[in-house]
Structure 1
Amino acid sequence: MMSGNYTAIDNEKVSGSVPAAPDQGHVAVKFADSDLQTFPPSEAQGKISGASRPPRDADDTFSKPVSGSEEAQQSSWFRTFTIAAYKPYFDVDTADVLERIKYSLFPFRGTFTEKTANSPDLYGPFWICTTLIFVAASIGTFVTYVAHKLKKEQWNYDINLVTWAAGLFYGYVIIVPLCLYVILKYFSAPAGLVQLFCLYGYSLFVFIPALCMSVVPLDIFRWVIAGVAGFMSATFLALNLRAHIMSAGERWFFIVAGIFVLQLALAVVLKFYLFTVSV
């Protein structure tokens, strides 16, 4: 039987046992520097300062095609048919649109292109043209309806007024900037195509209140309204494009004059087909 006395074994060698390792004090472990990129911890561990974040393209450096390669050109071409390519041009709020509309109503400032040089939008032009279409159709419908009721005649809605107005406004704000873009490119004074769409779209806003005032059954008053609206719109375009087109050489004046006259011609067309409602 084992006795109650115990013998302490301190650093003694016992047959069949492993010798105890002597205490050598604190040993510092050094790690060699690694070339691996250190990513910041997850957001759950706390906020990370901007200096410690990886570069924005750290996760897709190897997935991007080489600039100038055939793959890059195809990717750029196919991107024009995606919604993401046009999303930045609709990224505006109500305050931005209202401010740009305000600038379009003061044509003599000529600072619209400077204000929208870095952020042209297509949201405002789209809704301005759409509003013009519905205002033109509704005004014409309302006037003819009242006139027929006063004469106690049968009234029928004319759907052709909507389709005609849609073709006029959408066609004008797309085709004319495209043609001007080609002309400026030919004269070595290229302008941004989206910037031209934006400029021409906002130039049409003045015709919305003009169409609303055309309900007054006085032909001379309608001529004045159409003339003032056309002059304001044409001046807005000419003054905002003049500084840029002057770099095209000696022919800059003819280009600006053509823009001004074409916008006035639009006002004349609107006078005969929209500002004049016949019963």
Structure 2
Amino acid sequence: MSGAYASLGDVDVSGSVPVAASSDRVALKFQESNLQAFPPTDARGKLTGSYQPPRDADDSFSKPGPGAQNGSTDGQAQGFGGWLNVLSYRPYFNVDTSDVLDRIHDSLLPHKGDFVEKTYSNPDMYGPFWITTTLIFVAAALGNFAAYLAHKTSSQTDHWHYDINKVTWSAGMFYGYIGLVPLSLYFLLKYLGVSSNLVHLWCLYGYSLFIFIPASVLSVVPVEIFKWLIVGIAALMSATFLAHNIRSHIKTASDRWVLVVTGSFLLQLGLALVIKLYFFTFIF
């Protein structure tokens, strides 16, 4: 079978590709690459942190804000926009249950006067917000309940009605007090040349209101002398707590500290008086 084939040699066959002669072969030369050679690294299969954002990237959120601790990089936006940015308030809610309980405990010990020092590195608005909100509903609800008990023990024969306006007035009074009084004190201290922080004052005033929550619970007892006694004790404890801490903060910075401390003390007593007369005093 193999004998049937013959060698074609150099015969030109139609439709075929001619065989290139060995002497006509051309050696292709590749141009050397200019790619930069990078040295090997130890990172294998991992993303390295060598990437840098462009220079015009916004780094507002990488700046630590006041009140942050433990090396946190969560900051607040600078300028007026920071007041409108929710994330700028996150450092002031960086507390847990034990922190809030410790600060409530300190607010019940008015003679110590070291609350501002203990909360200086991490003042919070979490505790003041919930203390104030709880006081709003406790005072309104228990005020109506105390009115109901007083009505039942009186000689009145008409029907008793729940006063829903107590909730509205309670919210306006307590939120207004905790917001405007520290703000006014802040500008007063600025005027006197005393270095202060508004969040520290909000924190101080917020925790000073806690004592009025148990006082409101005890004021439900339908005995007028007992009510005045409870509210009076709560007022003295809260006002003394404020006065001691404000005094320790500004005594060495202003020669008019007596007026500021006395004004804060009397204003806190005035708040307690309003609580007693509006929520727990009834005339039938």
Per the shorter chain, which TM-score range?
0.7 to 0.9
User: Counterpart of 1:70?
Assistant: none
User: Counterpart of 1:245?
Assistant: 250
User: Counterpart of 2:56?
Assistant: 62
Q: Distance between the aligned counterparts of 2:25 and 2:118, measured in 1? A: 86
1:146/1:270 CA distance change after superposition, 3 Å = closer
C-alpha contact (below 8 Å) 2:104/2:207 kept by paired residues: yes
Deviations along 1:172-209, one digit per CA (max 9) or x if unpaired, are: 11111011001100111021011111110110000000
Q: What are the ranges of 5 or more consecutive residues in structure 1 without an aligned counterpart?
A: 3-13, 22-29, 67-73
Match of 1:256 among 257, 261, 266: 261
1:273/1:172 CA distance change after superposition, 3 Å = same
Q: Distance between the aligned counterparts of 1:60 and 1:255, measured in 2? A: 50
User: Counterpart of 1:25?
Assistant: none
Q: Distance between the aligned counterparts of 2:266 and 2:42, measured in 1? A: 61
Q: Which stretch of the first structure deviates more once superposed, 162-171 or 79-88?
A: 79-88
TM-score, structure 2 as length reference: 0.74
Match of 2:188 among 179, 183, 188: 183
Displacement of 1:139 after TM fit? Answer: 0.8
C-alpha contact (below 8 Å) 1:121/1:194 kept by paired residues: yes
Q: Distance between the aligned counterparts of 2:141 and 2:262, measured in 1? A: 33
Q: Distance between the aligned counterparts of 2:257 and 2:102, measured in 1? A: 29
1:275/1:149 CA distance change after superposition, 3 Å = closer
Match of 2:117 among 79, 103, 114: 114
User: Counterpart of 2:226?
Assistant: 221
Q: Does 1:230 pair with 2:223?
A: no
Match of 2:100 among 94, 97, 100: 97
SS in 2 for 1:76: coil
1:1-279 matched pairs, under 5 angstroms: 15-17=23-25, 45=45, 53=49, 58-59=52-53, 61-64=55-58, 76-149=79-152, 153-279=158-284
C-alpha contact (below 8 Å) 1:140/1:277 kept by paired residues: no
SS in 1 for 2:194: coil
Counterpart AA for 1:203 = S
1:224/1:146 CA distance change after superposition, 3 Å = closer
1:185/1:219 CA distance change after superposition, 3 Å = same
Displacement of 1:31 after TM fit? Answer: 6.1
Deviations along 1:57-113, one digit per CA (max 9) or x if unpaired, are: x426432489xxxxxxx9621231121222222232222211211111111122211
TM-score, structure 1 as length reference: 0.75
Q: What are the ranges of 5 or more consecutive residues in structure 2 without an aligned counterpart?
A: 1-5, 8-21, 30-34, 61-76
Count, aligned residues: 242
Q: Which has the larger radius of gyration?
A: 2
Q: Distance between the aligned counterparts of 1:253 and 1:147, measured in 2? A: 41
Q: Distance between the aligned counterparts of 2:204 and 2:175, measured in 1? A: 14
1:99/1:33 CA distance change after superposition, 3 Å = same
Counterpart AA for 1:227 = G
C-alpha contact (below 8 Å) 2:144/2:279 kept by paired residues: no
Displacement of 1:240 after TM fit? Answer: 1.3
User: Counterpart of 2:12?
Assistant: none
1:256/1:149 CA distance change after superposition, 3 Å = closer
Deviations along 1:94-151, one digit per CA (max 9) or x if unpaired, are: 2221121111111112221112112111111111111111111111211223344565
